[in-house]
Amino acid sequence: MPCPRPGHAGSRVRFDGTYGTHEHRRQRYRCFPGNGDRPHVFTDVLPREESWSHSCEVCERPVARREGPQAARHYQFVARGIAGALQSVGAGSSYMRAARVARERARRERTDPDTGQPRPSAHGQLIADWVEVFAPVVFEAHRPTVWPATGTVVLDHLPFRVRAVNAQGAPIPGGVVAFDVFCAMGYDRGRAKLWRLEAFPDASTANWVAFFGRLGGTPERVVCDAHAGMLAGLDRAWPETELYLCEWHLQHALTRLLKNQSQRGFATEVAPLLPRVERAFDGASFWRPFVADCRGAGIPALDGWLDDNDLLIQWQFQRRGLSTNRPADRPLSTGGLEQKTRPIRDALHPRRYALKNRERTNRMLMLMQLHANGEDSEVVYRKAIRDWLLANAGRPRAPRRAVTDLLGHPSLR
């Protein structure tokens, strides 16, 4: 172990006992400088906690007690434990569960000061702090800087609703949208991957423009639904980009309209049309006769919908080409993105009332993006954490809980 002080290179170094509690002892060293300076005690930049076994579970070789896992200075938990917790959060684990597992694995469970009995903690603040400090560290190597220059960018958003009441105190049916998570999927060498996730207080045009401006470049093609704020944001941010509306959403909107009109006195006219909707979107040869029959049904609401969408759908049929030679990076719907974001939606939904800090939520979304793309690895995470700590004298650059909101003014909802 070389002495870290300038001018002490090549000095004689000996072990000088340990510090810390049982099973968590860390090695100290004493330097005897060759230049005549007084001997002094020091520790490694990333102190190693004592090993609990006589062999490494990864490399399968014997190790000494002092050759255990590395930890940040003044951190009770080793880098390996932090990496494992970040991986579990990305996979959808709650902060409370991840904290409980991290404490058990590290043998850092709290104890009663009087009886010495274990006192399990159900608090997730430990993991929240780790996500704040270390999520950007493990995400940095995979952080995209530009939008894909070729292929398609698929866009969608996940609205999270909460219970609410109106001015008279009556419950609002379905609640209100508390916040949205904007999602973008791109293609890397033909492979679909989440390109960006970001939480916003609402899905306004200004927020969509900000979302598009986070990365450089302009995609050549976008597939999305007909959300008004998103379409207005696309028109402002990427006016030259080819826009393709999701065919599933168009089909779903038409089906919903027909069912609604069936309940409003047009059941006889709708009955022969409804079973043909899905087939009508197979191509122009099926769409044109279907539209002609729709026009002949004499349903005003249906005629209005076709006035808005018929020419668009025919144009999209011309643009999409044959299915036999369509590249994987030119999808016709947002289905691929929805498959990737469904686990994220399911993981956030039970916690939607607790997520109020926007920046912390976005850092958690970094971990979920890595997991969705298959880029989360405890081994890679802990190496990134150790390298980052070594570059900063063994300490995080920013203190914990630096990303906070003013009391009573949450940044997300």
DSSP assignments along 232-284, one per residue: HHHHHH-TTSEEEE-HHHHHHHHHHHHHHHHTTT-HHHHTTTGGGHHHHTT-H
Q: What is the pLDDT of residue 322?
A: 67
CA dist list (Å): 21 to 14, 124, 205: 21, 24, 55
Q: What are phi and psi of 346, to 5 degrees?
A: -65, -35
Chain mean position to CA 303? 42
CA-to-CA distance for 91 and 347, rounded, in angstroms? 9
Q: State mean pLDDT over 234-254.
A: 96
Given pLDDT bands bounded at 50, 70 and 90, which one contains residue 73? Answer: confident
Q: Out of 44-58, 78-92, 118-132, 268-282, which region has the weakest mean confidence (pLDDT)? A: 44-58
Q: Is 224 exposed, middle or buried (0-12, 13-18, 19+ CB in 10 A)?
A: buried
CA-to-CA distance for 68 and 51, rounded, in angstroms? 4
Q: State mean pLDDT over 117-142.
A: 90
In whole numbers, what is the pLDDT of the chain averaged over residues? 92
Given pLDDT bands bounded at 50, 70 and 90, which one contains residue 110? Answer: confident
- Token digits of residue 376: 């989360």
Q: What is the pLDDT of residue 190?
A: 87
- Token digits of residue 251: 């089909």
Q: Is 81 exposed, middle or buried (0-12, 13-18, 19+ CB in 10 A)?
A: buried
Q: What is the pLDDT of residue 250?
A: 96
pLDDT at 23 over 90: no
More confident residue, 362 or 115: 362
**Strand 221-224 relative to strand 153-162: parallel, antiparallel, unpaired?**
parallel
Q: What is the pLDDT of residue 188?
A: 92
Given pLDDT bands bounded at 50, 70 and 90, which one contains residue 368? Answer: very high
For the segment 377-413, what is each residue's pLDDT rounded down to a tens digit? 999 999 999 999 999 988 887 777 888 888 888 899 8
Q: What is the DSSP letter of 62?
A: B
Which is nearest to 143 in space by CA: 237, 217, 222, 215? 215
Q: Which residues contact 209 (CB under 8 A, 6 or more apart)?
A: 233, 236, 237
For the segment 226-240, what is each residue's pLDDT rounded down to a tens digit? 999 999 999 999 999
Chain mean position to CA 174? 26
Q: What is the pLDDT of residue 4?
A: 87
Q: What is the pLDDT of residue 61?
A: 77
CA-to-CA distance for 17 and 162, rounded, in angstroms? 56
- Sign (positive/negative) of CA torsion 123, 126, 130, 132? positive
CA dist list (Å): 322 to 245, 317, 319: 17, 9, 9
- Token digits of residue 259: 């069912």
Q: What is the pLDDT of residue 31?
A: 95
Q: State mean pLDDT over 34-38.
A: 90
CA-to-CA distance for 284 and 78, rounded, in angstroms? 61
Cα atoms in the Cβ-side hemisphere of radius 13 Å centred on 124:
15
Q: Out of 6-15, 110-119, 139-148, 263-272, which region has the weakest mean confidence (pLDDT)? A: 110-119
Q: What are phi and psi of 12, to 5 degrees?
A: -80, 130
pLDDT at 300 over 70: yes
Given pLDDT bands bounded at 50, 70 and 90, which one contains residue 324? Answer: low
Q: What is the DSSP letter of 78?
A: B
Instruction: Spell out the domain ranges in the chain.
Output: 247-332
| Residue count (the chain) | 413
Q: Which residues contact 107 (CB under 8 A, 6 or more apart)?
A: 23, 24
- Token digits of residue 320: 């999409």
Which is nearest to 323 in space by CA: 277, 279, 283? 283
CA-to-CA distance for 199 and 351, rounded, in angstroms? 14
CA-to-CA distance for 180 and 229, rounded, in angstroms? 12
pLDDT at 102 over 70: yes
Find out whether 251 and 278 touch, Cβ atoms under 8 Å.
Answer: yes
pLDDT at 323 over 80: no
Q: Out of 53-62, 311-320, 333-342, 382-391, which region has the weakest mean confidence (pLDDT)? A: 53-62
Q: What is the pLDDT of residue 50?
A: 87
- Sign (positive/negative) of CA torsion 182, 378, 147, 242? negative
Q: What is the pLDDT of residue 205?
A: 97
pLDDT at 89 over 80: yes
Q: What is the pLDDT of residue 55?
A: 75
Given pLDDT bands bounded at 50, 70 and 90, which one contains residue 319? Answer: confident
| Angle, alpha carbons 212-130-99 (nearest 5°) | 120
Q: What is the pLDDT of residue 326?
A: 84
Buried b (16+ CB within 10 A) or exposed e, 330-355: ebbbbebbbebbeebeebbeeebeeb
Q: State mean pLDDT over 258-265.
A: 94
Q: State mean pLDDT over 2-6.
A: 89
pLDDT at 321 over 80: no
